[in-house]
Amino acid sequence: MNSLALRLVLGAACWIVAALLAGGLALSAIVQDDVERGFDARLDVLLQGLVAVAERGRDGALVLARGVGEPRFERPLSGWYWQVSDAGGPILRSRSLWDEALAGGGPPAVAEAAARDVAGPDGERLRLLERDIALPGFAERLRFAVAGPRAEIEATVRAFNRTLAWSLGALGGGLLLALLIQVRFGLQPLRRVRQAIAAVRTGRAQRLEGRFPTEIAPLSDEINALLAHNAQVLERARTQAGNLAHALKTPLSVLTNEAAAAGGPLAETVARQAAVMRGQIDHHLARARTAAAGSVLGARTEVAEVAQDLRRTLARIHADRGLALEVRVPPGLAFRGERQDLEEMLGNLADNACKWARTHVVVAAAAEAGSLVLTVDDDGPGLSESQREAVFGRGKRLDESVPGSGHGLAIVREIAELYGGSATLGASPLGGLRATLALPAAA
């Protein structure tokens, strides 16, 4: 019941079923009453015909001048009967009654004929129409009665009810189908909003694009305003981080230069601590910038472009070593994040691989189960399992645990984890070290 479409369909379906059921019952009752009225009218015609042919005979008894005109009155137990009675009981009756008699009683119908249901021969249900008539030559009124089988009424009503049930069922099915189409069409803008938000989340768009109905347009406008505000906050954070880095690094550069010029144990201590401070500033500013970037929707970076740029840069830096730098990144792969963060992570890993490689470095990328997996392989000496653990240990950098093996790997892991990814080290098929980055992929 958490689905808006399901609520609309179920609510409307309940009303449709209730309305069709009530309408069907009302129509059935109206038709049944109409059929009974029509049957009573037929009985009334037969009753009038019976009265018209009834007269006093020469012996003073009631006789019929001619037949009533209904062949079924002549067939025994046909279901159609007539009878004339006085106070003492039946005095004339149809051949179809054989030796039976119609049930008497009931209020006398002086002015109009009265219809009621009675039990006939063999217990069958009959519709009886009777009326008291005063004939010339008779001192008392005579009761004329005509009856027909009620089964004919019920058969007609049943046939109508079957047709009505099929018709209302088809109408209900058509209405439900129309309702489903209407709900699907009516909620289509919400699906478009969901697709637009998914495009922003996966980095394929920077804002909600397209025209939306009047009822949804304010929502899309507010989301776009929120995205724009978030981007502005990120830009201010980056600017402030850059300003802070510049404000801190300038005094550190002055201290480093003065220490280098002065010489001595104190100068060495100042230079060493200034380098530590510079590293800490770089580390925490990168982490703060990445944390802000990771919370912004719509970031998307093409991996192949970044990898090729890094290959050209590293080729120039390590040109004297003659390394073969190979990039195996298929086009279309994208990282759901900021370009500079990917450059920092992949650049650190590739730079360390180049420092330790003998002749060959391979940067590769592939999409696996919705994630982006990047690997950097080298054919250097590699690291033991204990050294791999030490690289990412708290408070320990690679350049401190294994001299000359590179720097910044701890930051690489922290940036990857801020994006919900991971960074690991393992053995490379080339014989050296393999660095693996698992990051969120952009569609």
Same fold, 6-156 and 301-440: no
Using CA atoms, how far apart are residues 146 and 128, in angstroms rounded to an integer? 6
Q: Are 49 and 68 in contact (CB under 8 A)?
A: yes
With tokens 């009856």, the residue in question is 147
Q: Are strands 142-149 and 324-328 parallel, antiparallel or unpaired?
A: unpaired
pLDDT for 249-307, tens place per residue? 778 777 777 777 777 778 778 777 877 777 677 666 666 666 555 555 557 789 999 99
User: How much is the average pLDDT of 401-429?
Assistant: 75
Tell me the three state secondary structure of residue 18: helix
- Residue 403's pLDDT band (cuts 50, 70, 90): very low
- The amino acid present at 60, given as its one-letter code, is G
Distances (CA, A) of 276 to 279, 347, 397, 427: 5, 21, 12, 31
Token duo for residue 99? 């030796």
- The amino acid present at 257, given as its one-letter code, is N
With tokens 């019976």, the residue in question is 50
User: Of the given ranges (82-86, 237-241, 366-370), which has the lowest mean pLDDT?
Assistant: 237-241
Q: Which residues of 236-259 are buried (b: 16+ CB within 10 A; e: fewer)?
A: ebbeebeeebeeebeeeeebbeeb
Percentage of the chain with pLDDT > 70?
89
- The amino acid present at 184, given as its one-letter code, is R
Q: Are 339 and 307 in contact (CB under 8 A)?
A: no
Using CA atoms, how far apart are residues 266 and 33, in angstroms rounded to an integer? 116
User: How much is the average pLDDT of 15-20?
Assistant: 93
* pLDDT higher at 317 or 203: 317
Q: Are 164 and 27 in contact (CB under 8 A)?
A: yes
User: Of the given ranges (90-94, 266-270, 341-345, 379-383), which has the lowest mean pLDDT?
Assistant: 266-270
User: For residue 252, what are the contacts with CB-CB under 8 A and spacing of at least 6?
Assistant: 274, 277, 278, 281
Using CA atoms, how far apart are residues 51 and 60, in angstroms rounded to an integer? 17
Q: Are 126 and 148 in contact (CB under 8 A)?
A: yes
Distances (CA, A) of 60 to 1, 46, 57, 64, 135: 83, 24, 5, 13, 12
Q: Are 137 and 63 in contact (CB under 8 A)?
A: no
Given CATH 3.30.450, say whether it is the number of domain 6-156.
yes
> What pLDDT score was predicted for residue 292?
54
Using CA atoms, how far apart are residues 242 and 250, in angstroms rounded to an integer? 12
Question: For 73-187, where are the alpha helices, taking DSSP H only?
Answer: 150-186
With tokens 């069907």, the residue in question is 24
* pLDDT higher at 259 or 17: 17
Q: Are 226 and 295 in contact (CB under 8 A)?
A: no
Each domain of the chain, given as residue ranges in start order, spans 6-156, 219-294, 301-440
Query: Which of 205, 182, 186 minimizes the C-alpha distance to 195?
Result: 205
Tell me the three state secondary structure of residue 263: coil
Q: First vs last Cα of the chain: how many Å apart?
A: 31
User: For residue 172, what are the contacts with CB-CB under 8 A and spacing of at least 6?
Assistant: 16, 17, 20
pTM, whole model, 2 decimals?
A: 0.52
CATH topology of domain 301-440: Heat Shock Protein 90 (3.30.565)
* pLDDT higher at 361 or 409: 361
- Residue 406's pLDDT band (cuts 50, 70, 90): very low
